[in-house]
């Protein structure tokens, strides 16, 4: 059973008409997004590609970062950047670092304990091969030499300060 030729021609004409309308709408919306001034949020999933059209927040003479050091139950230390907690949030995301900072907040309260449980859960989900016994947060600093290119040894920071640590026994033993 096949459609008569007229039916094909009509459906093609209708498809073409609808496509033209869809293309016009998409092109207008994309163009408006492109022309929008800075600060106007992108209406995802419509997008605009404007990478590197603004000044960059370039690191100067000092480079700083937080680092997570996890000691497992066998005493082995594992080192991770603080973006390690989540796999699903796309590009290196500040969410993970903010949660880790909250888990090491100087305020001793129930929120902080909940963040600590969350960090342990996520580490277990990401790295099921070992049990985290202790989690430490370090702040690392490198002093860069005057050079157009950034040169530093990630494994040898000029300054390394431990912001805090907690053990899984402390967190789980706290009735959480």
Q: Which chain residues interact with another protein by CB under 8 A?
A: 1-2, 12, 15-16, 18-20, 23, 26-27, 30-31, 33-34, 41-45, 47-59, 63, 65, 79, 81, 83, 85-95, 98-99, 102, 114-115, 118, 121-122, 125-126, 147-152, 154
Helices 110-126 and 94-103, interaxial angle, to 10°? 130
> Rounded to an integer, what is the distance from CA 137 to the centroid of its chain?
18
Smallest distance from another protein to CB 76, Å: 17
Q: Which is nearer to another protein, 99 or 133 (CB)?
A: 99
Burial readout 45-80 (b: 16 or more C-beta within 10 A, e: otherwise): eeebeeeeeeeeeeeeeebeebbbbbbbeeeeeeeb
Token match 């163009």: residue? Answer: 31
Smallest distance from another protein to CB 25, Å: 12
Smallest distance from another protein to CB 75, Å: 22
Q: Which is nearer to another protein, 94 or 174 (CB)?
A: 94
- DSSP-assigned beta bridge partners for residue 63: 142
Smallest distance from another protein to CB 111, Å: 9
Distance, in Å, from the CA atom of 113 to the CA atom of 172, rounded to the nearest integer, reads: 9
């Amino acid at each position: 059973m096949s459609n008569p030729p007229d039916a094909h021609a009509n459906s093609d004409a209708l498809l073409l008409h609808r496509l033209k309308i869809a293309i016009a709408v998409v092109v207008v919306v994309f163009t408006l997004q492109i022309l929008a001034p800075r600060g106007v949020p992108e209406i995802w999933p419509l997008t605009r590609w404007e990478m590197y059209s603004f000044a960059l927040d370039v690191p100067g003479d000092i480079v700083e970062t937080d680092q997570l050091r996890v000691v497992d139950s066998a005493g082995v230390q594992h080192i991770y950047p603080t973006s390690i907690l989540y796999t699903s949030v796309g590009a290196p995301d500040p969410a993970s670092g903010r949660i880790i900072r909250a888990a090491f907040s100087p305020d001793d309260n129930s929120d902080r304990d909940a963040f600590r449980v969350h960090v342990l859960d996520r580490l277990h989900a990401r790295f099921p091969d070992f049990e985290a016994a202790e989690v430490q947060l370090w702040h690392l600093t490198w002093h860069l030499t005057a050079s157009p290119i950034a040169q530093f040894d990630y494994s040898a920071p000029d300054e390394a300060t431990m912001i805090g640590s907690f053990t899984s026994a402390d967190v789980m033993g706290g009735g959480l």
